[in-house]
Amino acid sequence: MNETLGVFYAGRRVGSLASAPSERLVFRYDPVWLSAVDRFAISVSLPLQPDPHATESSHSFFANLLPEAGARESIARRLGLSVTNDFALLRALGGDCAGALMLIDESLEPETHSDGYEALSIEQLERMAKQGGAMSAVDPHRGIRISLAGAQDKLPVFSSNDEPRTFSLPRGASASTHILKFPNRSFKHLPANELLSNKIASDLGLSVCESSLVRTPSTFLLLVCWRRRESAEFR
Nearest Cα to Cα of residue 106 among 91, 86, 88, 89: 91
Measure the CA–CA gap between 93 and 74, rounded to whole angstroms: 13
The domain boundary, picked from 111, 138, 168, lies at: 111
Measure the CA–CA gap between 107 and 99, rounded to whole angstroms: 23
Q: Do the beta carbons of residue 46 and residue 57 sit within 8 Å?
A: yes
Q: Inform me whether the pLDDT recorded for 20 exceeds 80.
A: no
The domain boundary, picked from 55, 81, 111, lies at: 111
Together in a domain, 106 and 118: no
Together in a domain, 91 and 143: no
Q: Which range is most confident: 95-99, 128-132, 221-225, 230-234? A: 221-225
Nearest Cα to Cα of residue 71 among 82, 62, 83: 83
Measure the CA–CA gap between 157 and 137, rounded to whole angstroms: 14
Together in a domain, 215 and 133: yes
Whole-structure pTM over 0.95, yes or no?
A: no
Buried-state track 79-94, b at ≥16 Cβ within 10 A, e below 16: bebeeeebbbbbbbbb
Together in a domain, 167 and 205: yes
Q: Which range is most confident: 1-10, 31-40, 65-74? A: 31-40
The domain boundary, picked from 83, 111, 139, lies at: 111
Q: Inform me whether the pLDDT recorded for 162 exceeds 60.
A: yes
Query: Structural domain of residue 136, as residue ranges?
Result: 114-230
What's the average model confidence in pLDDT over 159-171? 78
Q: Inform me whether the pLDDT recorded for 75 exceeds 80.
A: no
Per residue in 90-113, pLDDT tens? 887 777 666 678 888 766 555 544
Together in a domain, 78 and 141: no
Measure the CA–CA gap between 7 and 101, rounded to whole angstroms: 7
